[in-house]
Structure formats: C-alpha cells, structure tokens
Structure 1
Amino acid sequence: MSFSAPKGSFSISMLIYCCKRNLGKGYWHSRAMFIVEIEELLRNAMGLDAASLGRETVRQAVRIRLEQCGFQDGIDYLEHVRQSPEELQLLIEAVVVPETWFFRHIEAFQAFADWVQTEWMSAQRARMLRILSVPCSTGEEPYSIAMVLLDSGFPAAQFRLDAIDISRTSLAHASHAVYRDNSFRSTDFTFRDRYFSREGGAFRLAAPVRKLVHFRQGNLLAPDFNIGGDAYDVIFCRNVLIYFDAEKQKETVSVLGRLLDPAGVFFVGPAEGCLMIDAGFAPMKQRMSFGFLKRSSPPASAAPHKAEAPKRKHRVIPVSQPVPRPMTKPSSTAGSTRGNIATVPDLAKARELADAGQLSDAHDVCESLLRTFGNSAEVYALLGIVQDAMGRIHEAEESYRRAIYLDPGHHQALAHLAVIADRKHDTATARRLRERARRAEKRQIFTVQAKENDRW
C-alpha cells in the first residue's frame, strides 16, 4: 500500500502516523508481541508462568533491563536476551522477588523434626543424612532446617544440607546471612535469641549455623540438574510450583522425585499438595505439614533401595494455609455456624479419619455436621478434599465452590479448585484461583500476626 501528501505539508509526525495507519501494522503488532516472546523465554528458562506471578511484574523487569542496557526498542532487546545467557540471567534476577522468612509454615519444620527423631535418629543410620532446599531464595529456609537439626541434637558432621537457587543475588544475600525484621514473622523469637546477634538494625546468623549450609546456583529445569548426585533423604521445594504452568509443575516434581530416596520425605507449599497426590505421593500423618512420602516406600530405618514395604493406606490432608498455633486453647463449644464449628470435636474427628484414609467414614461425618450445624465453609472444604480423594471430582468441585461462597477468602478451597481447573486444562481459571489463594494466604498471615501482637 502507498500514500502521498501535498508538497510542503509533510512532517515527521505525519510520517509516523502514516506508517502506523498504512504501512506498519505488522511492525507495531510485532512490538506488542515481543513481551509475549519474553514471557515464553522465561517459561522455558525457569518454568515461570507469567500470569501466576503477575504480568506487570515481568513487564517492569523488562523495562528495567531495557533501560540498563540502553535499548530503545523491545525487539532489539529480545534478540539480545536470546543471544546472551548473561543477559537472560540478569533478566531472571530482575523478575525474581524473594518472599520468605524463617520457619515459614512452622508445621513443616515440626514434621521434619519428628521424622528426624523417630525415623532417622532412632534407627542409628550409618550414612549421612542428605537434605535439599530448592529454591532456597535468600537462605531463611535452609538455615531454619539447620537450626531444627541442631535443636534436635543431630550431630553437624552427620548431615549435609544443600541449598540451590537460580538467583545469584539471592544466593549472595543468603551467604551474607544478615537479616532484617521482614525475615522474622513468627510469634516465637527464641531461635533468634539463640542463633543471631544484633548488627545495627539487623541480625547476623551465627557462623556455626552458616557453615552447615552449602549454597550453589542451579536451575531446576536444566537438563543436567544434579545429575550424578546422591539421592536426598529430605527435599524442601515449597511455594515455587504455584508459579509454574501444569507442564512445568509435572516436570519439576518428576525431576525431584527421582532425586528423592525411596524412604525420603518431600515438603511442598500449602497450595501444592494436590500436585504431589496426583504424582503418586502419599501425605505424611502430620496435618498441615505438606510433607509427602513415596508410595510403598520402606521405613527410614531400612537399608536403601531394598524391597518395598506393603502399601500404606491412602491418607489425605487439606491444602490450607498453616498459621502459628494460637496461644490460648480454642473453645470447644459450637456457636454460630460459620465461626465456631471448626472447634467442635466431630470436625477434628473427620479430619483424623481423612488423614487415616478412612474416606467413607470421614465423608459421613462431614455430611452429619452439615445436617446438624448447617452450612459451613470449613466442613464443605474438608468434604471436598475427601470427595476428591475418592475420585468424585464433580462433587468435590461443588463442595469447594460452596466453601468459597460462604468464605470467599478460603485459601484451602481456592487452592484445590485451581488444581481441578488445571486438570480440565482451564489455565486461565487456574491462574485466577491461585492468585486469589495467594492473596488470601497473605491476609490470613497478617490477621493471625495482628491478633498475636494484640494479645501480647
């Protein structure tokens, strides 16, 4: 297509306008699409689902790198990042925003301590205990693991704790081991008194604890990730799978599953439990720990890779956000339907039955609670989990939706609905639900902490 203009009337602005209007539709479309190409590049490199993280976060990171590299044109930058592994790493650094703290989701660390004492130390294993924290972010998780082992009386010379992350910046922070208040969000700071010293307005971790963690850079999705390494007895991979799409989630669980000893334990985040069940793992008995075992795995006291023990009974735990335990015992008196039903003994009984794999009995107790007390988000959420485990997916989905109707911020129900949406290949809905679940998680943590602070 061509255009013409009267002599003497042409200007640069008119040229740009005409190019946009007549000549440059494909050109401007390509500029609009370059960010999509960047998102795909990040997905292939690190598994990131941009929609789960937030597309604006990715765009902001790209804007920062464009400015720092001196590029005016996004297409030119795209070609640059494709050809430069170093620039891709710098873009990843700009995208990664660490969000972690010491003893995050305390139930996981309690379950880990129990497992170490009852399954490992009591068996007097001759070999070294091997633990992996990935991604380890700025170090709060692996250092928390180290403190648990020290508090359990586990000899430092008898375990190896590897911590891996894709971000060089995060690893540098972890190695420095100086933390501010944002890394201490629990209500119990006795561990800080034991293992940290004040340094200005921050806290420095004691050298003996720092030396227990071996940090290194690595990419979970790299073809050579940990090839040739010994199997790990414990793997912590928490709160990262939620940022991957379904394909990368399965790939990551498969990779780490191969690195896990047959008698090992695998800890994930609160919104990631169903991914483990779908992959064939069985939940630990400790509620809300989000720890999983390989099905038909031998006990930790057995020699590695020997004949498998009989299959464990199927157990299920709810995908809900763990919060610090209240300092006062909750009332056992049933009050309003939406509030105090969570404290009645029968609900605890239903959870115990579900955890023990007695799904039909748990289902009956939930139905009885609904008949007795009326609608309850907590009961509907648990009923959905039981139905899900029984293979009654459509009924489970309806129960989760009823829980959300009664409590729009019910993290557990939102997380499970996201998994169901993934199974249906409805990625857009799954992303929206995960984002709602993350917002609900943050609100719940803030509310609990505020109540605990008020109590003090």
Structure 2
Amino acid sequence: MKTLALLRQATGLNLSRATVERAVRQRMEALGVDDQQAYHAQLTQDELAALIELVVVPESWLFRDAQGFAVATAFAKARLAAGARLVRMLSIPCAGGEEPYSLAMALADAGVAPTAFAIDAIDLSAACIARAEAGIFGRNAFRGKDLSFRDRHFAPLGDDQYVIDAGLRRRVRFRQGNLLTSEIAAPRTYDVIFCRNLLIYFDAATTAAAIARLAALLADDGVMLAGYAEVPSFTRNGFTPLPYRQAFALRKAAAWEGAQAPLWDRLPLPRSDSGSAPTPTPAPAPKSAPARHRPRGRAVPPVAAPLAPAPTPTPPTAPAPTIAALAPTADLAQARQLADQGRPTQAQAACRAVLAQQPDNAEAWFLLGLLAEDARPDEAEQHLRRCIYLQPDHYDALCHLALLAGQHGDTAGAATLKARAARVWRRRQHTSKA
C-alpha cells in the first residue's frame, strides 16, 4: 500500500499528496536517506507514527470559544443537582490539553467538586498526549483579555512557561486513540462531548462514521460541543442545534422520552431565541464538498483549533439562488470530482475553465480557494473573498476565511468573520423554522 493510502487509513484524514510528500521529505532528511523508493519499501510502524506526527499539526489555546465551556459547566451543575454523582466528559481530539484543561478550570471556578467530574481526553498524536500530560503551556496558550484563570490555576516556571495545578491535572485522563477505530468507552458513557474542528478534515463518509461513533458515546440527553463550521455536518447526521449563543452546542435529534424536560432545554444561559431548541430538517448531502487538502485539524488548525477538511460542510438550508447558482454546473461538478480524487492541479484547471465562461460563479471561486489553501494561503484568501463578494452569505467561505485569518495571527479578523458566519447560520435556522 502506498504511503499516502497508509496515512489516510491510519488517521482517517483526507490528506493531500503534497502534504504527505512534504512529511516524507522531512523524515528522509532526518534519517539521512536519499532513496525515496527504499524509504517507502521499508516503512515501519514506528516510522509511520513519525509521519503521522508531521501531518497532524495541532494548535489551540486555553478557553478557545469560551461559550462552549459555559454550556458544559451549566449542564454539569444541572446534572449533579438532579442527583448524578459523577459527570463524565470527553474531549476528542484534545491536542496539547488546552480544551480539557479549560473545561476542568471552568468546572472548578463554578464550584463543582473535583470528585464530581471526570474528563477523558484523547488524541491521535502521541506527542500531543505527552505534552498534555506535562501540563506546561507557553505564552501562545494564553490569549484573550481576561487571563485571571492563569493566576488561579497555574504556577509560573519562568521564560513565559506555566504549569497547571496538579489537582486539576489529575481530573483529566489522557490517552492516545483514534475516534474511528479505538475502543473509547461503553455506549452512552459521556454527559458532554467536545469534538471541535476535527470533522472539517474528513470526507462525507468519514464524517458520517465519526458522528455515528460520537452519538453512540453520548448519553441520550447529553450535549455535544462542535466547531462552528461543523454544525451543518452534525445536523445532517442525527443532531439538532441547541439555541445557546456562540456555543455551537447540539443534542441528539431523536425525541426525548424522559419523564421531565431534558436538562439541555432548561439551562440558565442566554439563548438565541425565546422558544424551544430549533429542529431543522437535515439537508441532503452537499454537492460541493471537495476534499480538503490539509492535515488535521486543529487550527492549523487543532483540535481545538482548526482546518483542512474533505467535504466542506454546507449550511442545512440552501441560500436564495444567485447568478452563479443558476449557471451551468457540469464543469464545476467535474472540478469537485477531481478534487475528491486528490488531483488538485486538474481540479484548479477545471475551476478556471468554469470562471472563464462564468466569472461570477461564486462556487467556482470557493472551490478554487479550497484547492489553494495548503500551498498558497494568500491566493486562497483572495479567491474566498471573491466568493463572498459575489455571495455575501456563503457560510463555508466565511468559515474558511476565519480559519485562515486565525492561522495568520489576525485574531480580530477571525472573530469578525466567525461572528458573521454565525449570523448567517442563525438567520438560516430562523428561516427554516418559519
């Protein structure tokens, strides 16, 4: 089996050929190997693990997308008040521990006893797990204006390094694993699951399989916290959004059969509307989901931070038709197919052929932007901005632009684009209920 196929099989990620070739070159240089055929022919399990570390590039920070932690904390307190002795939570993938430690700090600050919660944290990367278990973070992990949690829960080590409180560290159990293939826990084990910015790296089939595993692990009345670009994928695969602002929280779509109203429907938190949780009808699988050509997610995003998906999620409700949407799509369909086959050069050529005849085709600009994200991020940004110029409410383009801005260190720009995408999402949810 070729190295590209081996890595895709081992990680579940829709890796591009260029990404894998870069990783192979790095490993060959490190080993002092000149013969590429000999390297591929003698690829051991240890060497495959080394390659995985290069294609999975995690980046996150503490209390990223903080509203999700507020929802998880409120849900945990409600669960305990209802008589539960222990609330179990899962963070997958957990990157360097930023997300599960943020959750532990949020629970502690809310007065939840350390013995009343347990957090499992899983990541594909052994290096990430080792870093997370150490609990040491540098300046880049502390972002935002309010860093008072650092004084409460960390001790300084010097050189802008801080180590998290040992008591909190004991509340998180880290281990290496794969959502798709590892034995994680018994069905319905977890009250809350964080799975953010992972699905964006998967194709449609893998996304569906991953969500099915998450649904099996989540309690029937539990809460799922996703990345903002992943909510549409969840709604197409058995989940319904919860109306908590900026939290990107979901529940299982199946009707609740408990004697009382479910906990997630009565949390003391601001809501995006005054009614019950929205229950949009899942849209059919998106036609425009090209394979994303970047390693996993974490804003590299992360996992806790973001991107490089396979099919890019599409909002559950289609936008009003535009000039581009009404134009012929045969060539664009061919471009998507070439992208999904891992043939980016041919896919880009097909996109440009479409644009030569239909310069206002927003979807062609969007796909062209996705295809350029790995090797030419500046060019990708230009294409995606052209897309939203033609179609200002293009949800996926806004999400990808936000992720690119975050990768460039433009946190203000990323926040603005993220908020804009969230408004588009809420507007479409409102329209679907009308």
Question: What interval of TM-score do these two structures reach, taking the shorter chain for normalisation?
Answer: 0.5 to 0.7
Q: Is the 8 A contact 1:414 1:434 kept in 2?
A: yes
Asked if 2 retains the 8 angstrom alpha-carbon contact of 1:177 and 1:204, the reply is yes
Q: What SS does structure 2 have at the residue aligned with 1:185? A: coil
Secondary structure of the residue aligned to 1:352 is coil
Gap regions ≥5 residues in structure 2? 281-313, 327-360, 364-383, 417-434
CA contact (8 A) 2:387 2:394 kept: no
2:26 maps to 1:61: no
1:95 and 2:60 correspond: no
**Aligned match of 1:375:** none
Q: Hey, what does 2:289 align to over in structure 1?
A: none
What does residue 212 of structure 2 align with? 254
8 Å Cα contact 1:404/1:413 also seen in 2: no
Q: 1:258 to 1:447 in 2, by over 3 A?
A: same
One-letter amino acid of the counterpart of residue 98, structure 1: P
CA deviations over 1:146-201 (Å, ceiling 9, x no partner): 01111111111122111111111111111111111100112110101100111111
Q: Which amino acid aligns with 1:250?
A: A
**Distance verdict in 2 for CA 1:191–1:68, change over 3 Å:** same
Higher mean C-alpha displacement, 433-442 vs 401-410: 401-410
Give the aligned partner of residue 89 of structure 2: 131
TM-score, normalised by the number of residues in structure 1: 0.62
What is the Cα-based RMSD across aligned positions, in Å?
3.9
Give the distance between the partners of 1:77 and 1:69, measured in 2 at CA: 10
Whose helix fraction is larger, Structure 1's or Structure 2's?
A: 1
Matches within 5 A, 1:1-400: 37-51=2-16, 56-81=18-43, 84-117=44-77, 119-125=78-84, 127-201=85-159, 202-222=161-181, 224-226=182-184, 228=186, 231-296=189-254, 298=256, 352=273, 357=278, 389=316, 392=318, 395=321
3-state DSSP class of the match of 2:47? helix
Contact 2:67-2:246 within 8 A present in 1 as well: yes
The 1:191/1:449 distance shift into structure 2, 3 A limit, reads farther
Rg comparison, structure with higher value:
1
Which secondary structure state, in structure 2, belongs to the residue aligned with residue 271 of structure 1?
Answer: coil
**Cα distance between partner residues in 2 of 1:68 and 1:263:** 49
- Residues 162, 227 of structure 1: alpha-carbon distance in 2 compared, 3 angstrom cutoff: closer
2:409 is equivalent to residue 413 of structure 1: no
Partner AA of 1:251 in structure 2: A
Instruction: Provide Cα deviations, 1:219-242, integer angstroms capped at 9, x if missing partner.
Output: 1121x4325476111111111111
Which amino acid in 2 is paired with 1:103? F
Distance of 1:163 and 1:249 partners within structure 2:
20
* Partner SS for 2:191: strand
User: Would the aligned equivalents of 2:406 and 2:414 in 1 still touch at CA under 8 Å?
Assistant: no
Amino acid at match of 1:141: E
In the TM superposition, residue 70 of structure 1 has moved relative to its aligned partner by 3.7
Aligned residues: 323
AA of the residue aligned to 1:182: N
Q: For residues 381-422 of structure 1, give each alpha carbon's deviation from its aligned partner in whole angstroms, at most 9, with x where no partner exists.
A: xxxxxx965x5566499699699669559998342x6xxxxx
Q: Give, as a single letter, the amino acid of the residue that structure 2 aligns with 1:212.
A: R
Residue 444 of structure 1 deviates from its aligned partner by 8.7
State the TM-score, normalizing by the size of structure 2: 0.65
Q: Which has the higher contact order (CA 8 A, sep 6+)?
A: 2
Work out the CA distance in 2 between the residues paired with 1:60 and 1:254: 32
Q: What whole-Å deviation, never above 9, does each CA across 1:34-57 have from its counterpart, x for those lacking one?
A: 9xx433222111111224xxx544
- 1:234 and 1:255 map into 2 onto residues whose CA distance is 14
The amino acid of 1:85's aligned partner reads Q
Shift of 1:136: 0.7
Distance in 1, matches of 2:276 and 2:387, equals 24
Amino acid at match of 2:172: V
Q: Is the 2:405–2:413 contact (alpha carbons within 8 Å) kept by the matching residues of 1?
A: no
Over residues 254-290 of structure 1, what are the superposed CA-to-partner deviations in whole Å (9 max), with x where a residue is unaligned? 1111111101111111111101100120111202211
Change (3 A) 1:200 1:437: closer
Q: Give 1:78 deviation, angstroms.
A: 2.1
Q: Tell me, yes or no, if the aligned pair for 1:47 and 1:245 is still in contact at 8 Å.
A: no
* Aligned residue in 2 for 1:446: 411
In structure 1, what is the Cα distance between the partners aligned to 2:318 and 2:177?
Answer: 40
For the 8 Å contact 1:296–1:309, the answer to whether it is kept is: no
Q: What's the CA shift for 1:71?
A: 2.9
Shift of 1:352: 3.1
SS across alignment from 1:233: strand
1:409–1:440 contact (8 Å) kept in structure 2: no
Task: Give, as a single letter, the amino acid of the residue that structure 2 aligns with 1:61.
Answer: A
Whether the 8 Å contact between 2:124 and 2:177 is mirrored in structure 1 is yes
3-state SS, counterpart of residue 282 of structure 1: strand
Does the CA-based 8 Å contact 1:104-1:141 persist in structure 2?
Answer: yes
Identify if the C-alpha distance between structure 1 residues 409 and 234 changes in structure 2 by more than 3 Å, giving closer, same or farther.
Answer: farther
